[in-house]
Structure 1
Amino acid sequence: MINTSSIDWSSFKTELQQRPELLLQFQYATDKWVNANYHITEIKQAPITSVDCGGVMNAWTEIIVQLWEPAQEEEGRAMQVKKALSIIDLVESKLALNPKGIVKIEFGNSGFDTRQMYPGEFKVEGKNLVISLIPDATQCKAINRGGSCGTTTTGAECCAPAQPEKRKIELVNLVADQNSCTPGSGCC
């Protein structure tokens, strides 16, 4: 997996544990916030195994925290960080989460298509711990291996599997050899 914005599960939890009394807020775009009455509906662990376009196998784990906004506004219901931590404790009592798993926050509402985003900056703003969410993006894994995506300057495809070197076979004209057998010569 290639990205520059990820945080692992252990680091994510540590960030939350440092500020249990604050209200936990998520900003998913410029001036766009997940409603304060959101729920953490589930935490998923997704082991991923893939083979990329160059034939290289990759494996990683994602920990996905799903947020949901109820249709009805619930006044005065903003989640404290300690409530989020209690949900995490409940999940971890039933499912051992990989501490090195990449964290993603899954969210969508009627004005924002559901997607998985990376937790970005953790900022304290007054009584709030605000986590900015960063969109995920696709990328060619060849770039991470020092390649480029597309055709290289030599004309080779970066993503094509390595081709075995072709061996040259030398053909020999057996008829031209003077020591060859002929019918009735007794050499065969």
Structure 2
Amino acid sequence: MKLSEIKKILQTAEAVNFKVEQGAMVPEHFHITEVGIISKDFIDCGGKVRHEKVANFQLWDADDYEHRLKAGKLLDIISLSEKVLGMEDLEIEVEYQSGTIGKYELGFDGQTFLLLSKQTACLANEACGIEVPKKAMVNLVETSNSCAPGSGCC
């Protein structure tokens, strides 16, 4: 999710709630302790120089049980970050404590923000000789085991 997308959602949101992809809710009394820009310059295993830049939100679960972050307050924090840091319309990465600091992509299910697991991957498959197997496409219409309407198989 990009910064522009969360801002649009927050304009009409009644509450700001986060849920980890596996289903656990982030406690309602969380704080967003940081909104910033993370830049990463690196060389992949194929020798190609790469640059990444993301907007970063850090969620923290404190013992402040009366705290509730409102949508307008988060919009204000984002606006200040854009102004002071020159933040662009970047993809959002969320940091949240889960055993260690976890990094998540941000999604939205229409009501709750979702912390979606990120995965590592080789960025230079062709250079290091690793082939990622392609999954075969199956045409369900042509398979002999397909269910026809009214056949009773479904």
Settle same-fold status: TM greater than 0.5: yes
**8 Å contact kept, 2:46–2:127:** no
Residue 38 of structure 1: aligned partner: 30
TM-aligned CA deviation for residue 66 of structure 1: 0.7
- Which structure 2 residues correspond to residues 5-16 of structure 1 after superposition, within 5 A? 7-16=1-10
Q: Structure 2: give runs of 5+ residues left out of the alignment.
A: 132-154
Please state whether the residue corresponding to 2:77 is helix, strand or coil: helix
Q: Count residues with an aligned counterpart.
A: 131
Q: For residues 148 and 14 of structure 1, do their structure 2 counterparts lie closer, same or farther at Cα, with a shift above 3 Å needed?
A: farther
- Following superposition, the deviation at residue 132 of structure 1 comes to 1.0
Give the structure-2-normalised TM-score: 0.74
Q: CA RMSD in A?
A: 2.1
Is 2:46–2:128's contact at 8 Å kept on the other side of the alignment?
no
Map 1:101-116 → 2, pairs under 5 A: 101-108=90-97, 112-116=99-103
Larger radius of gyration: 1
TM-score using structure 1 length: 0.62
Contact 1:103 1:119 in 2 (8 A): yes
Deviation at 1:95, TM superposition (A): 1.1
Check the 8 A contact 1:61/1:98 in 2, yes or no: no
Distance in 1 separating the partners of 2:4 and 2:64: 33
SS in 1 for 2:97: strand
2:76 is equivalent to residue 86 of structure 1: yes
**1:58-73 map, 5 Å:** 58-73=50-65
Distance of 1:113 and 1:82 partners within structure 2: 29
Which residue of structure 1 aligns with residue 145 of structure 2?
none
Q: Residues 139-178 of structure 1: matches in 2 within 5 Å?
A: 139-143=121-125, 147=126, 150-151=129-130
Output the amino acid matched with 2:121. Answer: Q
Superposed, 1:123-138 pairs within 5 Å as: 123-124=110-111, 130-138=112-120
Aligned to 2:75, the other structure's residue is in SS state: helix
Question: Which residue in 2 is equivalent to 1:120?
Answer: 107
Question: 1:114 corresponds to which letter in structure 2?
Answer: I
Alignment match, 1:178: none
Deviation (angstroms), 1:84 = 0.9
Aligned counterpart for 1:56 among listed residues 27, 48, 69 = 48
Q: Which amino acid aligns with 2:77?
A: I
